[in-house]
Structure 1
Amino acid sequence: MKVPASVQRNEWFTRLGAELQSEFIHRSVTRHYALGTLIYATGSAPNGYHIVLRGEVRLEHYAKSGKIAFYQSLRAGDGFGLLSELDKSPRFSDARSWGDTSVMQLPHEALQDLYRKNAQAREAFVALICANLHTTLGMLVESHSAPPKAQIASILVATFSRNADDPRGQPKLTHEAVAALAGVSRPTASKVLHELRDLGLIALQYGKVSVLDLAGLQKIGAS
């Protein structure tokens, strides 16, 4: 069994036993997406669990006003799409490729078969959902306790640190996406971003954000 290098970066997958890893890989398929391709849409039926192999996938949920209400950027090793598989609910967000992207997909039928028949797989899937819930609750606590400047600095560090040495791998966030991640208004996010720009920590071009000084942002995020 050969596990793709990107999948080895997924901590949940690496904790699976060798037998279950092999079963997962055997039942999965690799799919390639061009820039802007919709992997699944809000309200659609679940189509499996995915792990990003290369490129970037963005999860976006839009409020009735048309503004982004939820945003997440996923890169090599990140997984997505499990919640709807376990509770059989429609997809909560759009999942769209951002750039030339490859994804390993455990299809719906294969995942459901593993969940029903394999106790180890079932425990692993439930453990992953619980871990994601703890992460979400932690983010909610931080969003209610940290000031916007520290919160946005931490978000930028978390988003950009993985590809700090390779500018080509860095996502370019919009002001609206940063606001959605931080749970603040767009004017508030823009004000903070301009402050961080004036400190020489980030660059703003055509409404997009790129990081210049991760260490400086880390200090602000920890304050």
Structure 2
Amino acid sequence: MQAPSVGRAEGYRVPAPRTTEETVDAERLHQAEWVVSCLEGRSAARPGRGAVVALASRLRTRLLRRGELAFREGDSEAGVWIVRAGRLELAVKGRQRPLIVQIMRSGGIDGDIQKLLGMPFPYRARALEETECLTLAPRDFEELLAEHPQIARMWMSTMAERLSYSHDRIVGMLGRTLTQQSSRLLLDEAASGVVDVPQQKLSEMLGVCRPSLNKVLKELEGQGLIRLRYGAVDILDPYGLAQRAD
């Protein structure tokens, strides 16, 4: 005699048990609260506790070793990625060298726009160091937005801000000299006055050869605006550097 199908009764799917705060561990709730803080931005309405619990129940943790890929170009089922700690490099294949689109740091989010537009990733993501990410599977992300309007509004607002920032960054680079582009990139990538990105990576982000960038950086250093050191650049005069970027 065939056993009845698990999770079904009289031909109908049995609803999944309702997620409550008691069924989600404290660490997941802490992670969800952190994600909400990353999403807040200019959004006025913070989601209620039930929405936070629903987010917590869907989050999964991924630990990546240095050099490990999170997702590849053309991947349409990688879901949504949120960098918790560490860095992810987003890059596309160039004719002669990779072109770095962005370096995602803690709080960076990707994959949500691609999922909503039904598009595969146009680039690959690789960990630059040991990196912890929180992920949402495609179906979980869709259900979360559909079932919790407050989360959906907050998430859409954040996506709009990111798209606006990307647009402004691209427009700000058009028609600029390499000195202006390099100055703007350093200001954009700086965290607490330090750009922890090697010159080779910076040149790939600008789409130029390293010697050309190094010449510009040496000039900026000679003007007392930055200090070059192995694998990093210290911003000494952000106001002066901003003037060189305009």
TM range (shorter): 0.7 to 0.9
**Separation in 1, partners of 2:135, 2:193:** 23
User: Which residue number in structure 1 is paired with residue 90 of structure 2?
Assistant: 59
Deviation of 1:96 (Å): 1.0
Note closer, same or farther for the CA distance 1:211–1:46 as it changes in structure 2 (3 Å cut): same
**Separation in 2, partners of 1:8, 1:140:** 28
Question: Does 2:60 correspond to 1:29?
Answer: yes
SS in 1 for 2:190: helix
Deviation of 1:180 (Å): 4.2
- Normalized against structure 1, the TM-score is what? 0.79
User: Which residue number in structure 1 is paired with residue 124 of structure 2?
Assistant: 94
SS in 2 for 1:191: helix
CA displacement, residues 57-112 of structure 1 (integer Å, 9 cap, x when unaligned): 1111122x142234211111222222211111111111111111111111212002
Give structure 1 stretches of 5+ with no counterpart: 165-169
Question: Does 2:220 correspond to 1:196?
Answer: yes
Give structure 2 stretches of 5+ with no counterpart: 1-25
Alignment counterpart, residue 174 of structure 1, candidates 199, 203, 207: 199
SS in 2 for 1:10: helix
**Preserved CA contact (<8 Å) 1:46 1:91:** no
Note closer, same or farther for the CA distance 1:95–1:220 as it changes in structure 2 (3 Å cut): same
**Separation in 1, partners of 2:185, 2:79:** 28
Note closer, same or farther for the CA distance 1:163–1:114 as it changes in structure 2 (3 Å cut): farther
User: Which residue number in structure 2 is paired with residue 185 of structure 1?
Assistant: 208
Note closer, same or farther for the CA distance 1:181–1:12 as it changes in structure 2 (3 Å cut): farther
**Preserved CA contact (<8 Å) 2:221 2:228:** yes
Runs of 4+ in structure 1 displaced over 6 angstroms?
none
Question: Does 2:157 correspond to 1:133?
Answer: no
**Preserved CA contact (<8 Å) 2:74 2:121:** yes
**Residues 38-77 of structure 1 correspond to what in structure 2 (within 5 A)?**
38-63=69-94, 65-77=95-107
**Separation in 2, partners of 1:138, 1:56:** 23
User: Which residue number in structure 2 is paired with residue 219 of structure 1?
Assistant: 240
Note closer, same or farther for the CA distance 1:156–1:140 as it changes in structure 2 (3 Å cut): same
Note closer, same or farther for the CA distance 1:113–1:7 as it changes in structure 2 (3 Å cut): closer
User: Which residue number in structure 2 is paired with residue 108 of structure 1?
Assistant: 138
**Separation in 2, partners of 1:116, 1:78:** 23
**Preserved CA contact (<8 Å) 1:49 1:80:** yes
What letter is aligned with 1:221?
A
| RMSD of Structure 2 on Structure 1 (CA) | 2.8
SS in 2 for 1:47: coil
CA displacement, residues 143-173 of structure 1 (integer Å, 9 cap, x when unaligned): 0254432331232233232474xxxxx6333
**Separation in 2, partners of 1:49, 1:88:** 13
**Separation in 2, partners of 1:12, 1:18:** 13
SS in 2 for 1:76: coil
- Normalized against structure 2, the TM-score is what? 0.73
User: Which residue number in structure 2 is paired with residue 10 of structure 1?
Assistant: 38
User: Which residue number in structure 1 is paired with residue 18 of structure 2?
Assistant: none
**Separation in 1, partners of 2:64, 2:42:** 25
SS in 2 for 1:60: strand
**Separation in 2, partners of 1:43, 1:101:** 22
